[in-house]
Amino acid sequence: MVTSKSHFPQVFDRISGRSRGGSPGVHGMATGRTSSARWVPLLVVSLTIIASVASAQQANFRQPAKAAAAPQGATAAEAGSTRTRFIVGLERAADARDVKISALANPNRVLIDLPQMRLYLPNLPGQAPVGVVKSFHHGLSAPGRMRVVIDVTGPVVIEKSAIEKAPDGASERLVVDIVAASEVTATTAPEGRPAGAGLQPPVPRPAQRRASGSFRPVIVIDPGHGGEDSGARKYGTIEKDVVLSFSLRLRDKLTTTGAYKVLMTRDSDVFVPLEERRDFAERHQAALFIAIHADYTQRASARGATIYSLRPHVADALRRNAEAETRDSVLSGKQVALAKQVDADVDALRGILTEKARDLIERNQVRTSVFARSVIDFVGSTTDLMDNPDRGAAFVVLKTAKVPAILLELGFITNMQDAEQLNSDQWRDKVSSSVVTAINQYIHTCIDMAQC
């Protein structure tokens, strides 16, 4: 039992209750995309967090300058409880649509993504968990975005989340109710309503098989190098070969879901110029562009996967250039003539279309960051990652403002252990599956649910 209140500045209420809850690629590659329940009465542990102030970029937490009074009759929380209320104080008002909360597995954790601001978080718990919460940390996840990562004791669901006024009435706070997934039973809920309605799934969401003829997001896979460009070589491993093998495995897994239209910039040992790879993704209006490579360094001890996206200042410059191009080309001469025939306001029409294009360009920049984090979360559960795996670069294939794009370095050819993994069918199968899971999660969040 957790009895010391020094781990958390607030006390926890024990409450019981019930809740209800196939197209051609660059070189001819043809691919395609393919009960209700009831909540049993649970012990509720309310974890109230109004405490220590941390800056938007700090990982350590400090004692609050002033703590709220504890509710009368409150008792200490028992470790191992199945419900926990996690409350984050916000520096300023936030739109609920800008706050994304997800529960993930392998490892079990809850992610809270929200606009960058000062957050009011508690002291870290001690060795014993408080409710389902073991520990947590936070920091910047993308330009202008914060992420709180809550490590939990097992699979969980998010029963409810809301932004509400703090007791002082002057500030706002984010309230998240986290429930152990083991408490969900497969029985019929009252009024025929599934108990899980509105809840975050406790495990990564599988791809949704879409009906024939329905929209399928385009995923472009770009195996690096090829032909006379072999890429890195070491320990008998050739980069162009291992990245192609991995990419073909990834393609097959994505195609099997029936959810995506999968295209490859190359599906054989051929050379494709870098600009053509990027233009191919733009031309097909890809939902994602994923370049696959293997790393090289003189330091033999360096190992692990790394995820690159475009450096922020380069991305901003590309965005400005793309917006300028859009203003000049959003309407063709023929379209302008047609608009004038019906007495349409050409300037207003051009302004509306330009604004929509600008929104899409900015959204792609955000989506790149979201997908990069998804890849790190899931790939990191199946293979080693480099220190600070989320990195920026100005690679030619990433220089696009029109498509969310990342470059995944699978590992270091110059490291004997990584080189062995790159040649392992078992490793390719495991890691490619984690990339598919990252894609499924991203597509569900950003495309199906339109949350980014």
Question: Can you tell me which residue has the tokens 């609050």?
Answer: 64
With 0-12 CB in 10 A as exposed, 13-18 as middle and 19+ as buried, what is 135? middle
- Taking the alpha carbons of 228, 229, 230, 232 in that order, is the dihedral positive or negative? positive
| pLDDT for res 187 | 32
Residue 196 has pLDDT above 90, yes or no: no
Q: How confident is the model at residue 31 (pLDDT cuts 50, 70, 90)?
A: very low
Rounded-to-integer distance, Cα 338 and Cα 238, Å: 55
- The arithmetic mean of pLDDT across residues 421-446, rounded, is 93
Rg from Cα positions in the chain: 25
Is the CB of residue 20 less than 8 Å from the CB of residue 249? Answer: no
Report the pLDDT value the prediction gives residue 360, as an integer from 0 to 100.
63
Report CA torsion sign: 284, 391, 439, 267: positive
E strands present in 273-384: 288-295, 305-310
Do the Cβ atoms of 288 and 217 come closer than 8 Å?
yes
**What average pLDDT does the chain have?**
74
Q: Greater confidence, 288 or 147?
A: 288
Least confident stretch, 124-133, 202-211, 231-240, 352-361: 202-211
Q: What does the pLDDT read at residue 101?
A: 87
What strands lie across the sheet with 385-393, from one edge to the other? 261-264, 218-223, 288-295, 405-412, 305-310, 385-393
The closest of 250, 180, 191, 229 to 408, measured between CA atoms, is 250
Q: pLDDT (tens digit, 9 = 90+) per residue, 366-418?
A: 889 889 988 998 898 899 999 889 898 889 999 888 899 999 999 999 999 99
pLDDT tens, 263-301?
Answer: 999 999 999 999 999 999 999 999 999 999 999 999 999
- Kindly report which listed range (136-140, 193-197, 438-442) carries the lowest average pLDDT score: 193-197
CA-to-CA distance for 201 and 441, rounded, in angstroms? 11
Angstrom distance (rounded) from CA 220 to CA 251: 9
List, in order, residues 6 or more apart from 212 with CB less than 8 Å away: none
Residue 244 is given by DSSP the state H
- The hierarchical CATH code for the domain 12-21+36-192 is 2.60.40.3500
Q: Where are the domains of the chain?
A: 12-21+36-192, 218-448
Length of the chain: 452
Interatomic CA distance for residues 45 and 183, integer angstroms: 14
pLDDT, tens only, 317-364: 656 665 556 556 656 677 767 767 777 776 776 666 666 666 667 788
With H, G, I as helix, E, B as strand and everything else as coil, classify residue 452: coil
Model-level pTM?
0.55
The CATH homologous superfamily of the domain defined by 218-448? Zn-dependent exopeptidases (3.40.630.40)
CA–CA separation, 52 and 47 (whole Å): 14
Q: Are 258 and 209 in contact (CB under 8 A)?
A: yes
Mean pLDDT of all residues in 201-224:
72
The closest alpha carbon to 451, from 84, 96, 194, 68, belongs to 96
Token pair, residue 242, equals 């291992």
pLDDT > 70 in the chain, percent? 65
Structural contact between residues 82 and 177, judged by C-beta atoms closer than 8 angstroms: no
Collapsing DSSP states into helix, strand and coil, what is residue 391? strand
